Amino acid sequence: MDTATLTLLPDQPPKPLGDPFLRFHITPTTEGLLPMLQVQEVLALPAQRLTPMPNMPACLLGLINRRSRAMWVVDLSQVLNLAGFDASRRQHDLIIIRVETIALALAVHQIQGVCWLSAESIQAPPGHVPPSLQAYLRGCAIQEQNIGLVLNAAAIVQSSKLRSP
């Protein structure tokens, strides 16, 4: 009697559909998404490592030294006209984005992780989104019963709010 040997291959995880996006909370109640192609790094920074600069717009929290380069830290919620950043936090969650040669650190409420979105899942923003916010959006994505704002990193970097008064 012959016995056949059956070799089981490990289950291969399904290949994700779409492109990777970093998922995070801009404020405790507002979720944001950025294309991973524009995200250079994510880090938690102790508040004392941030150097405040005088006479700068309110959305510029200060400077950090990252890999021997000075970089601005921006309160993303103020740039987007959302509730202000909690400056009393002992630690800042930062997303370092790069658009062409410009790197900028975005201070956010909390980093969630990476998700995958297809182009079809990014929809036009709902009508109740203020025009001042729409300038920074590529669209919106509905995930797990939440609406995530799909942000345009180039529009953030080029924001007039980042200019000196």
Residue that wins the pLDDT comparison between 37 and 17: 37
Residue 46 has pLDDT above 50, yes or no: yes
The percentage of residues in the chain with a pLDDT greater than 90, rounded to a whole number, is 47
First to last CA, the chain: 88
- Alpha carbon distances (Å) from 94 to 10, 39, 62, 140, 156: 37, 11, 12, 22, 15
Confidence of residue 1 (pLDDT cuts 50, 70, 90): very low
pLDDT digits (tens, 9 = 90+) for 95-130: 999 999 889 999 999 999 999 999 888 998 877 777
Domains of the chain: 19-160 (2.40.50.180)
pTM: 0.84
Q: What is the mean pLDDT of the chain?
A: 85
SS3 call for 120: helix
> Token pair of 8, please?
């089981």
